[in-house]
Amino acid sequence: MNGKKLRVDVDSQTPLLYVLRDHLNMTGTKYGCGEARCGACTVLVDGQSMRSCVTPVARVGDKEVTTIEGLEKDGKLTQLQEAFLKADALQCGYCTSGMIMSATALLTKNPKPRAMRS
């Protein structure tokens, strides 16, 4: 979890989201729809974006999980987080962590994406 090895004593089918929020106090990951549609619950699992509201904790037992709290380094935001702030791309802020985590996964795969053409 965010670079640290952790063990939690929960039912193996408990959604990762609830383990993060209720057992590990990682509240930056949000509950939105509970159906993996909205993205508010997005975390990175081995660098891939994953909806934590529908992911049983057993599925990530031996994997690296990164939450929004795990992105900062030495108290500093990432360039992507800074870009969100600069562009006022926060809306109400509730689902921003999910957007940032999804964008982080995208930029990890494709560091120089091209603009989409309509």
Digit-by-digit pLDDT tens for the chain (118 residues) are 999 999 999 999 999 999 999 999 999 999 999 999 999 999 999 999 999 999 999 999 999 999 999 999 899 999 999 999 999 988 788 999 999 999 999 999 999 888 877 6
pLDDT of residue 92: 85
pLDDT of residue 37: 95
CATH class of 16-109: alpha beta
State the pTM of this model: 0.91
pLDDT of residue 90: 84
Edge-to-edge strand ranges of the sheet holding 65-66 = 48-51, 42-45, 65-66
Distance CA 32, CA 41 (A): 7
- Rg over alpha carbons for the chain, rounded to the nearest Å, is 14
Q: Which residues of 79-115 are buried (b: 16+ CB within 10 A; e: fewer)?
A: ebbeebeeeeeeeeeebbbbbbbbbbbeeeeeeeeee
pLDDT of residue 24: 97
pLDDT of residue 19: 98
Show me where the domains of the chain are located.
16-109
**Start-to-end CA span in the chain (Å):** 39
Distance CA 48, CA 43 (A): 8
Q: Which residues, at least 6 apart from 92, have a Cβ–Cβ distance to it below 8 Å?
A: none
pLDDT of residue 33: 96
